[in-house]
Structure 1
Amino acid sequence: MNQLREFYGILKHAFRNLLPIIAVVSFFQFAVMQEVPDGLLSMAVGLGIVVLGVALFLQGLELGIFPIGKNLSNQLAKRGSLVLLMLFGFSLGFAAVIAEPALIAVADQAEVISEGRVNAFTLRLLVATSVGAVVGLGIVRIILGHSLHWYMIAGYLLVVLVTFFAPEEIVGLAYDSGGVTTNIVTVPLIAALGIGLAVSIRGRTALMHGFGLVALAVMVPMISVQLYGIVVYTFGETGDVAGNGLEMEAETDGVADPVAGSLALGMLSDLLVMVRDVLPIIAVVLVFQYLVLRKHIAHLHKVMVGFVLVIVGLYAFVVGLKLGLFPIGESMAEQLIAREQILFVYLFAFCIGFATTMAEPALIAIGEKAEEAAKGQLKGNIIRLLVAAGVAVGITVGVHRIITGDSIHYYIMGGYALVILLTWLSPKYIVALAFDLGGVTTSEVTVPLVTALGIGLATHIEGRSVLIDGFGLIAFASIFPIITVMLYAIGVELVSKARGGAT
């Protein structure tokens, strides 16, 4: 009975989180477009399914993913073997990324854009290996107690330097590839690993040391993909490429493609694909739990139910988005461009960026964990508002770049130069969390909508290349939340010092 009451509370919470999206879509559809959208009933049903999916997902996290992540990190830490911990971190990072559908889509696009110079599978291996290696490095950082800000300052100086030399065709996709490495399942699991490890080591705090693994997993692929791009554009040759390069991951198409003429079989097939994407992570957990630690999983039935709820909730969530949001989001962007209402394009980009981020399940989960770790220093709702505002500003700036046709190089380098400066000035307790929140924003809600917006704009604005100008919005959605969270922390510290001086 208590669990039912708890689930009902999560359901209401999920509905409240979806209200900003409903408000944005309603305003633009009825006040700006002044027309009733086609398929209004299916959209309403879709939004209801989204609410149910988010609630199931969050319940599954609490039952399965957070406990298993924390327990594994605690048990490995007790073993006292740095090699084992690094191997676990590498395996988890690699497994989380290699089967990621969004990365597969980005890798295929990179192959097309480079006219065959970039090999899609090689790129996926490179990104997955980069993430695995850097999660291993992040574990060493937690054990040694190093502050994350030195890692991030050095890393993003390298990011900016590499961007200066990278070919234009690869920059947007390289930054997008960093963004898509962190999805709705892997972010909570990696965060749970870091927090669990930090609280199990004396002298470490969850807020300063537990966060940061997601940030590293986002940053390093940006460097490795651009370096790979420099090499292949310098020494590589063009080759035959299948496809036309315009089919992004088919997340914005139909709810499910029929299999053998049956929609039900098609939906089952899609659900099995989602299970397949999570299987590498489950395999790593089982191998380390039973073959390395040689211990049974505590409360195995609850953990299994948790993983099932995560998968079913995620599937319901994606189906609901396809029914309720993607069609109207894409059509509105196209209609605004067709009507030459550029001011409303900017307003739509800002509003949809804010609204989708507020509904992002991974952000909700990490915001709650950050509030627990901060012990009164931060509020989960304030974190989400700051991140949503950052995404809104970032997407608006990215849309401006597409409309004006400016090079992405200068925007990205300027953005990360500001991030480096703020990292230097920010209170150390906020740095790891701020960078993690930049990675959380590029998940299952934001990525498809933002990608569709970028491609839609580049397609309908004369003189823009879909393959060059249509990508890169995800990078902007990652940069600006880091800036807003750090500015907030700096502001709070200055106010606190001023009050202390006054008394």
Structure 2
Amino acid sequence: MKELLKQKISESISSVLPITLIVLILSFTNLAPMPAGMLILFLLGSVMLIVGMGFFSLGTDLSMMPMGTEVGRSISASKKMIIIVFLCFLIGFAVTVAEPDLQVLAKQFTAVPDLTIILTVAAGVGLFLIIAALREFWGIRLQSTLIVLYAIVFLISFFVKPEFLPVAFDSGGVTTGPITVPFIIALGIGIAANQKNAAEDNNFGLVAICSVGPIITMLLMGIVLHSTEVTPPDFAIPEITDSQQVGKAFAAGFPTYIKEVAFGLSPILLFFIVFQFITRTFHKKGLIKVISGTIYTYIGLVLFLTGVNIGFMPVGNYIGKMLAGLEFNWILIPLGMLMGYFIVVAEPAVHVLNKQVEEITNGAVPAKAMLLSLSVGVAFSVGISMLRVLTGISIYWFIIPGYILALVLSFFVPKVFTAIAFDSGGVASGPMTATFLLPFAMGVCEKVQGNILTDAFGIVAMVAMTPLITIQALGFLYNRKVKTATDIKPNEIEFITDEIIDYTIDEEAGA
């Protein structure tokens, strides 16, 4: 176990180091010099981020994935539709209320009480997890489902105040974070495992559909609150000048996240206890593994969230203000792209999805190829978001064409790539986006005197959208390559093309 933990921490170092170096370079130059206390705050947060990701990654492998898979198998085996509907709503609602990313977004959008936002979004995920599960049971194509759902999204959006639009789209991204993703992905795998003649894309798609639910429920809330005056949030950067204040900041933050993560994991753990008591699925050895994995997950999330919220959030806002104050503040666009490229690597849920994709496709879609496509997509999204903040261009000019392009691409790529792409969109927009990039955009917007509600909010939505295009572009390239490749394994072909290919191995060439 120790060796495995060392391996996970080593992987997290390679994930967090690039964005840490970028911030350090900015702080050591005239671009964004930081007070010594804030720099120590950031570095300590980086260390906690690394250790937290290591523990979290190990914990999800041991607990969340097996737990979700077995729950999915049991739901799939049930013959009573009322039980399936009730369990899906309960699971979706519970894991979303627990999601720390959602709580971060709710605190920053001060126009509506936090609890109202959390319950509205949780109801959206619960309802749409039902839709996602029923789609698998009834064999409805994911592509058709997504076209209908996004048509509804954009139809409703025309009746909502501009101030509500960006945060509504952001809510779809933040709900799929480090607690929700591992459980829901495993749930989908478990459900698909018991389905006869299930398509390969049935292993994915639950996260994609669950990401749409919060957008619709938040847009509906925006219509109900149409007459409500929406005021921009006031983000205050704490004054950190020495190491003592750094210690006080983390000491004040730790109890908060110890409680939040306990609150977040407790519904899942309680559900698992009831599930285990009824089904007796896990034997003693498996049960010990799940319990130890849950403890690792808890430790990892506490460290990770404390690091990003205390160490990264104020630094992100501070750097945004400093860069926006430069005469050549256009540099925010390439710098934003650079940060976006590396910051997605530090998202815990990204590694969960990439690993599952590689395993389920028998290596046909390597984790490295997934990560590169995600990084490129997020780089473009952050660059576009910086352009929006500097110019005040409406998010509509990017979101509508972006989703139309993503849906059009779904007709030209293998179905499994469409499912993976729409799942990855929600996964890419995790806690690093909510706690670093969003405050960064808010800092820029405040400095250039823009509208924070319409210009800064929406960066999470942009991060969630661009991977839909880049991952499907990867699928398009794979689909073309497989027709001429001679080194593709026969058991991999089904995962990277929808066509039936007459694949034969040239024995003489192989010899």
TM-score normalized by the length of structure 1: 0.87
Residues 28-80 of structure 1: per-residue CA shift (max 9 Å, x gap): 33456385762445543432222111110011111111111111222333344
Q: How does 1:91-170 map to 2 (within 5 A)?
A: 91-104=90-103, 106-107=105-106, 112=111, 121-170=115-164
Q: Give distance in 2, aligned partners of 1:319 and 1:154.
A: 39
Alignment-mate amino acid for residue 394 of structure 2: S
Aligned equivalent of 1:228: 221
Q: What RMSD, in angstroms, separates the aligned Cα atoms of the two structures?
A: 3.0
Deviates more, 1:411-420 or 1:43-52: 43-52
Q: Is the contact made by 2:172 and 2:213 (CA closer than 8 Å) also made in structure 1?
A: yes
Aligned equivalent of 2:493: none
Residue of structure 1 aligned with 2:481, choices 479, 483, 495: 495
**Secondary structure of 2:36's match?**
coil
Aligned equivalent of 1:73: 72
Q: Structure 1 residues 251 and 61, CA, compared in 2 at 3 Å: closer, same or farther?
A: farther
Q: How does 1:336-351 map to 2 (within 5 A)?
A: 336-351=323-338
Q: Structure 1 residues 452 and 119, CA, compared in 2 at 3 Å: closer, same or farther?
A: closer
Aligned equivalent of 1:437: 424
- The answer on 1:485 being equivalent to 2:471 is yes
Q: Give distance in 2, aligned partners of 1:209 and 1:387.
A: 21
Aligned equivalent of 1:214: 207
Aligned equivalent of 2:349: 362
Q: Is the contact made by 1:358 and 1:385 (CA closer than 8 Å) also made in structure 2?
A: no
Q: Structure 1 residues 262 and 181, CA, compared in 2 at 3 Å: closer, same or farther?
A: closer
Aligned equivalent of 2:49: 50
Alignment-mate amino acid for residue 96 of structure 2: V
Aligned equivalent of 2:508: none
Deviates more, 1:313-322 or 1:150-159: 313-322
TM-superposed deviation, 1:184: 0.6
Deviates more, 1:394-403 or 1:39-48: 39-48
Q: Is the contact made by 2:166 and 2:453 (CA closer than 8 Å) also made in structure 1?
A: no
TM-superposed deviation, 1:383: 0.5
Q: Structure 1 residues 143 and 91, CA, compared in 2 at 3 Å: closer, same or farther?
A: same
Q: Is the contact made by 2:124 and 2:217 (CA closer than 8 Å) also made in structure 1?
A: yes
Q: Give distance in 2, aligned partners of 1:190 and 1:50.
A: 23
Q: How does 1:460-471 map to 2 (within 5 A)?
A: 460-462=447-449, 464-471=450-457
Q: Is the contact made by 1:37 and 1:328 (CA closer than 8 Å) also made in structure 2?
A: no
Q: Give distance in 2, aligned partners of 1:150 and 1:412.
A: 19
TM-score normalized by the length of structure 2: 0.86
TM-superposed deviation, 1:246: 1.7
Q: Give distance in 1, aligned partners of 2:22 and 2:130.
A: 41
Residue of structure 1 aligned with 2:195, choices 191, 201, 208: 201
TM-superposed deviation, 1:289: 3.5
**Secondary structure of 1:146's match?**
coil
Aligned equivalent of 2:375: 388
Q: Give distance in 1, aligned partners of 2:309 and 2:114.
A: 27
Question: For structure 1, which runs of at least 5 residues remain unmatched after alignment?
Answer: 113-117
Alignment-mate amino acid for residue 196 of structure 1: G
Q: Give distance in 2, aligned partners of 1:251 and 1:317.
A: 20
Q: Is the contact made by 2:237 and 2:314 (CA closer than 8 Å) also made in structure 1?
A: no
Question: For structure 2, which runs of at least 5 residues remain unmatched after alignment?
Answer: 487-500, 504-511
Aligned equivalent of 1:175: 169
Aligned equivalent of 1:115: none
Q: Structure 1 residues 109 and 329, CA, compared in 2 at 3 Å: closer, same or farther?
A: closer
Q: Is the contact made by 1:46 and 1:321 (CA closer than 8 Å) also made in structure 2?
A: yes
Q: Give distance in 1, aligned partners of 2:379 and 2:69.
A: 33
Aligned equivalent of 1:314: 301
Deviates more, 1:335-344 or 1:363-372: 335-344
Q: Structure 1 residues 372 and 499, CA, compared in 2 at 3 Å: closer, same or farther?
A: closer
**Secondary structure of 2:365's match?**
coil
Aligned equivalent of 1:85: 84
Alignment-mate amino acid for residue 479 of structure 2: E
For these two proteins, the number of residue pairs brought into alignment is 481
Residues 434-458 of structure 1: per-residue CA shift (max 9 Å, x gap): 1110000121112111210121121
Alignment-mate amino acid for residue 74 of structure 2: Q
Deviates more, 1:163-172 or 1:357-366: 163-172
**Secondary structure of 2:457's match?**
coil
Q: How does 1:289-308 map to 2 (within 5 A)?
A: 289-291=276-278, 293=279, 299-308=286-295
Q: Give distance in 2, aligned partners of 1:201 and 1:62.
A: 24
Q: Is the contact made by 1:455 and 1:466 (CA closer than 8 Å) also made in structure 2?
A: yes
Q: Give distance in 2, aligned partners of 1:470 and 1:197.
A: 38
